[in-house]
Structure 1
C-alpha cells in the first residue's frame, strides 16, 4: 500500500475518533443545502394539520429586527427541539438550524435558553421560521 494512502487512512480514522472535538466548518454549499432542506421540511410540516400545532411556544420573532441571526437561529433550534413531540420532521430542522447557529458562533454546543415572554402557536412559529430561513437563503453571502 502506498504511504500516502496509509497516511490518509490514518487521518480519516483519527478524525472519526475525535467526533465533537472538531468544530464543524460549514461550506457555503453545505449552508445552502441545510437551508434548503429546512425550508422543504417546514413546507411539509405546515401542510399537516394536527392539534398540537396550537401549543404555545415563546415568540422569539417578536424582536426579530433587533436580534442577530446567530441568537435567533439558536433560539429557534431550542423551540424546534421542543416541538419534536408534535412533528418528528422538526428533528431535521432542529439539527440544521443549530448547525447554522454553531457556524456563526463556535462553541455553542446546546440550544440557547429562551426566556419566557410573549407566546405564539407552534403553527405560527413554524410559519415565521420558514420565512426567516427563506430570507437567509435568499441573502446568503
Structure 2
C-alpha cells in the first residue's frame, strides 16, 4: 500500500485593500495575502488543488494588486522543488476560477481540469463586482 503525500506550494502574494479582504468589515489599507496550491501525491495520481495567479496577467490587468512572486513560486518552480514537472500532474482541481486560483493552469496543459458545474455558469456570466476576479480564464 502506497502512502499519500500532501504538499503546500507557495505561490507568492498579492495586495488588496483590507476592506475587501474582510468583506467591508475590517480596517482599510493595504493587506498582503499569500496564495497557495495544494499538491496531493496519491497512488491513483497527482492532483493539484488551485494553481495561484499568473504574474504577467496580474501586472497587465490588476497591477494595483502588487504581486510578489519569484520564479521558484510559479507552478513549475514549486513542482520542481518536490521533483516534479507540470506534465506529471494528472488532475487540476479549481475551487473556483478567480484569477488567483487558476492562473497557473496555463502550465498544466496535459492535466484533466475539474471544477464544480455551478462555477462554470458563474464564470461564464459573472456579476459586475466579480469581473476582475474572473479576468484570467485562459
Normalised to the residue count of structure 2, the TM-score between the two structures is 0.28
Q: Bigger radius of gyration, 1 or 2? A: 1
Higher strand share goes to which structure? 2
- RCO higher in 1 or 2 (8 Å CA, sep ≥ 6)? 1
Normalised to the residue count of structure 1, the TM-score between the two structures is 0.28
